[in-house]
Chains A and B, each alone.
Chain A
Amino acid sequence: MIAIRVRNLKKTFGAKTVLDSVSMTVHEGDICGFLGPNGSGKTTTLRVLLGIMGADEGEVSVLGLNPALSGHILRRRVNALPESHGLYGWMSAHRYLKFFSQLYGMTPNTDQLRTGLLQVGLDPNDHRPIRTFSRGMKQRLGIARATINEASILFLDEPTNGLDPRGRREIHDLLLTLNREQGLTIVISTHILDDVERLCNRIAIMDMGRVRYEGPLASGNNARSLRYRLHLDNSCSMPSGWTYPGIDIIENKEGWITCSIDGIPPAYAIKTLVEAGLPILEAEILSGGLEDLYLSHTEGGVS
C-alpha cells in the first residue's frame, strides 16, 4: 500500500522556485530517509505533505487524502516533529504532553503521560518548566509529542539533533520498535547519514528543489555498500564460485580483487575472506556508501 505519493509538485516563493517537479513514493511500513543540502526543499516538501503549506502545482496524496483539502483530517492520522522544537517554555513536560494529546481529542491519564515521557528517557516526576531543559531533553520531549497520537505516518525533521550517542541510540530503538510493532511509516529528514543507515530502508535525495535519487537503501545502487580493492599475494586469486552473503565479488584479477561489502561490518567481511584462504595484504576503500551516493546526487558531488 502506498502511504505517500507525490507527483510533479511545484512551489515558488516569489521568483524563487523551491520545489521543481518533485515526485516520490513511500510505502506503508517504510522508514524513508529524506536527504539533501540546506535549502534543497525538504522542509517545504514536508510542510506540503502535512497540509500546512499549499503547492502551486502537482498531485499529493497522503494516506489517500489530499493534504491541501483535508489537512485537519489528515493531521489526526499523522504526526510530525518540526526542526524548531515548538515547546512552550512555561509549561512542564507533563502539562505539555497533556495539552498536545488533548489537541488530538485524547484524554490521557497520568499513567499514559508517564509512559510517553519514560519511553523517550524523560523523568515523569520532573515538573520544572521546559525553558530550563537542555537541548537534548527538549528534543526528547518533541519526539514524545510526535508519538503521542498513535499516528500512521510520522514525519521527523532532524530527530536526533542535540542528542548524545546514547540518546541517539535510544531514539533509534524507539523508532524501530514503533515501525516494527505498530507498522508506523516514518519519513526522516536529516543530515546525519548514520541515522539514515541505521534506520531507513528507503531514501530520497533532494537537491535544488528536485528529487535526484529515490530508491531502496540496501539494494538498487548499493547505496549502503562499500567498495573495496583487496591486494593479495602475487599470483593468488579468488577461488571461482565462492560466495558469501553481503560480499559481492565485482572483479577477480591476479593479485587483487574488487568487492562490495553490504550489510556486514567490513572488518568481519575481510576476516571471512582471509578464512576462505585469501592472503589479503592490504584493503583499500575505493568508493561507495551512503555518503558517496549523497555527494554524487547533490551539487558539487564527486560523481
Chain B
Amino acid sequence: MLFTGITVTDAAAALGEDWNFLDERVISRFMAFKPVGHNIFGARAITLDAPPVAREQEARTTKKRLLELVKTRRNFEIGPEGIVQVGRDPMCMHVTCAGTPHRTEFLFGYWHINDRDEIILPLPPAASAQPAHLLIVMGLPKKNETDRIGWYCLECANLLFIRELVTGESGFSKFWQFERAVVSEFNSDEAHHTCKQCGHVNPLGYCAFPNLDTEAERASRMQW
C-alpha cells in the first residue's frame, strides 16, 4: 500500500465522528437537511422511515398505508411542456437544475424551486436485510439566493400560489418554519387552490414532515 508508514488508522479521531454521514449513528442528523460546508445534506435510510409502534390502531393503519404509497411514489418536474414525470433510478445521480419546480408524491405537497442545483441519489440495499438509502445534496444558497414553495394547477400547470424565502440571508434552518407557514397560508383559502385559468380545484398542500399534518393535510398526502 502506498502510504503504509504515514497512515492514520483512526478515521473518527482524525476526521470527526460524523465522517460518514450514512453511518447509522449519524444519519438521523440529516433527516431534516443540514448545511455542512458548501452544501445542504439530506439522507435517510428507508427502513428507518418505519414508524415506532403507534399508539392507536388508526394511526398505525394510516402510517402503514402511507409507507405503502411511498414505495410507489413518483417524481415530477415542471417545464415549458407542463408537468413531467422523471425517474429516480438506483445508483443514478439525478440533478434537478436550479429553477426547476420539482416535487415527490406523498413526501411534500408543494413544488420546491431552489436557486442552486440539487443532486438526488437513491442507493439500493447492499444486501438483503440492509436498508436502502436516499441522499439529497443541494448547493448552499448565498446572498440573495432563495428557496421557493409554490403550487401549480395539476390540470394545466398554471401558477396558483408562490412564496419565497431568501435562504442566502436567513440560512436554510429557517426553511421549515417558512414551509409550515406557507402551507397553512395556501390551505387557508380555497381561492388559492382554485385555478383561475381552468377552474380546477387543486388538493391541499402538506409539509415534508407527516407528524405536522392536520387531518385535512393527511388526507391530501394520501392523494398526491
The finding on whether chains A and B are genuine partners in a shared complex, rather than unrelated, reads: no
- Using a CB–CB cutoff of 8 Å, the interface residues on chain B facing chain A are none
